[in-house]
Amino acid sequence: MNVADRSERSGPLSDLLVVDLTHVLNGPYATMMLADQGARVIKIEPPDGDDARSFAPLGDTNGTYFNSINRGKESIVLNLKEIGDREVFLAMIDRADILTENYRPGTMERLGFSYEALRARNPRLIYGSSSGFGQTGPLSSFPAYDSIIQAMSGLMTITGWPDGPPTRTGTSLADLLGGLFFYAALSTALHARERTGEGTHVDVAMFDATVAFLEQGLVEYLGTGRTPHRVGNRHPFIAPFDVFETSDGHVTICCGNNHLFELLCGVLGKPEMVTDHRFSTNEHREIYERELREELEEVLMTHPTDYWLEVIHDAGVPVGPILNVAEAAHHPQTAARNMIITAGTTRMAGSPIKLSTYDDPSVRPAAPTLDQHGPSLRAEFTPPARPTAT
């Protein structure tokens, strides 16, 4: 499929043109979601390309990492400091619905492409900026990568084991949260434009997004004044809500209320625990969490994981296995939800956004090679030559 042909694209955003200056992860993740929903996304890259093109694993021309967050886009190389390329860019802006950029704040202004300047050309333009710390505040000009944001947001201090060091999550969570909020903000701005007829400047920060997702940690601090600490796999406020050892591995059990705890005690053959003063309420179970674990694991370690998964589930208690990435990728639920797809020659995660009135294809357009669409896009957007004076 020629992704430039709007007649061949489908989705709720198929009437939109997105001019995408973002690079690496958080911005491209957001614009990939726009492309998944049908938007035409033109990815503008510098002559040496998006840095992510060189990230491992290098499966083909682009690399699997780049492919996994840039499917369905077009690529053109533009040097925004050169007059001819600036004219092509501005011609795109004149027709665009959305501009996205994730440069360090101030970069677009220095290029002469501030929100005010581009709004003057296209009042309906939604100008999206995603950065580490946002467009305002004392850290706005600071460079940031995912690990910096995880460290500074407080996330690392509540991740890991009590006797271990601050720990980064196993995925680039701050980048991805920034991308998710970027997509949500751009979608919100599109709806606002339907009412007002005018665009707006969207300002999303990875730092803000990660602070917003601290959830339990931030709730505990703001509610009590106590700084939360690492608690491993257990829930800081609910028990039992943790990973427990069995005779051949581990199982995750979550009892979010007294009724579920009573059901668990029944299936474990320990009904007396329900009336034990140490475990009769969630508050008490939290205080005596270590003793609770010992009581539960004394029984759980008498049978293998598969046994407990079946009987605890049949009792109506939330329970689950611990899967590695390969097992999760091949799980029947993953297949049923179309969460592993193919784009070009690369297998990757599918879209978690499912809309009943639109297809969710298992084969999507590939990520572009560098400047793959450059000639056709230059032909489409190069302004006509001005007549020379005689």
Percent of the chain with pLDDT over 90: 92
Q: Which two tokens stand for residue 289?
A: 């969490």
| 5-28 b/e (C-beta count within 10 Å ≥ 16 → b) | eeeebebebeebbbbbbbbbbbbb
How crowded is the C-beta side of 172, counted as CA atoms within 13 Å? 17
**How confident is residue 4, by pLDDT bands cut at 50, 70 and 90?**
very low
**Average pLDDT in the 72-94 region?**
98
Query: How many whole angstroms separate alpha carbon 70 and alpha carbon 87?
Result: 25
Helix, strand, or coil (residue 122): coil
**Residue type present at position 223:** G
Q: How much is the mean pLDDT over the chain?
A: 95
Judge whether residue 2 has pLDDT over 70: no
**Could you tell me the domains of the chain?**
6-213+336-381 (3.40.50.10540), 241-323 (3.30.1540.10)
Q: What does the pLDDT look like over 256-305, one tens digit per residue? A: 999 999 999 999 999 999 999 999 999 999 999 999 999 999 999 999 99
Decide if 167 contacts 159 (C-beta within 8 A).
yes
Helix, strand, or coil (residue 18): strand
pTM for the structure as a whole: 0.94
Q: In degrees rounded to 5, what are phi and psi of residue 47?
A: -55, -30
Query: What residues contact 100, with CB distance under 8 A and at least 6 apart?
Result: 18, 19, 20, 21, 22, 27, 30, 31, 128, 130, 182, 186
Give the full edge-to-edge strand order of the sheet including 201-205: 74-77, 40-45, 17-20, 98-101, 126-131, 201-205
**How confident is residue 62, by pLDDT bands cut at 50, 70 and 90?**
confident
Decide if 97 contacts 124 (C-beta within 8 A).
yes
Cα three-residue angle 46-50-51, rounded to 5 degrees = 125
Catalytic residue selected from 235, 250, 284, 303: 235
Judge whether residue 247 has pLDDT over 60: yes
| 170-191 b/e (C-beta count within 10 Å ≥ 16 → b) | eebbbbbbbbbbbbebbbebbe
- What pLDDT shows up at residue 237? 93
What are the distances in angstroms from CA 357 to CA 12, 37, 338, 354, 360? 9, 12, 16, 9, 10
Give the full edge-to-edge strand order of the sheet including 346-349: 346-349, 340-343, 363-364
Q: What does the pLDDT look like over 302-329, one tens digit per residue? A: 999 999 999 999 999 999 999 999 999 9
**Residue type present at position 165:** P
**Average pLDDT in the 110-137 region?**
98
Decide if 313 contacts 319 (C-beta within 8 A).
yes
Query: Is residue 229 annotated as part of the catalytic site, yes or no?
Result: no
CA dihedral 237, 238, 239, 240 (to 10 degrees): -130
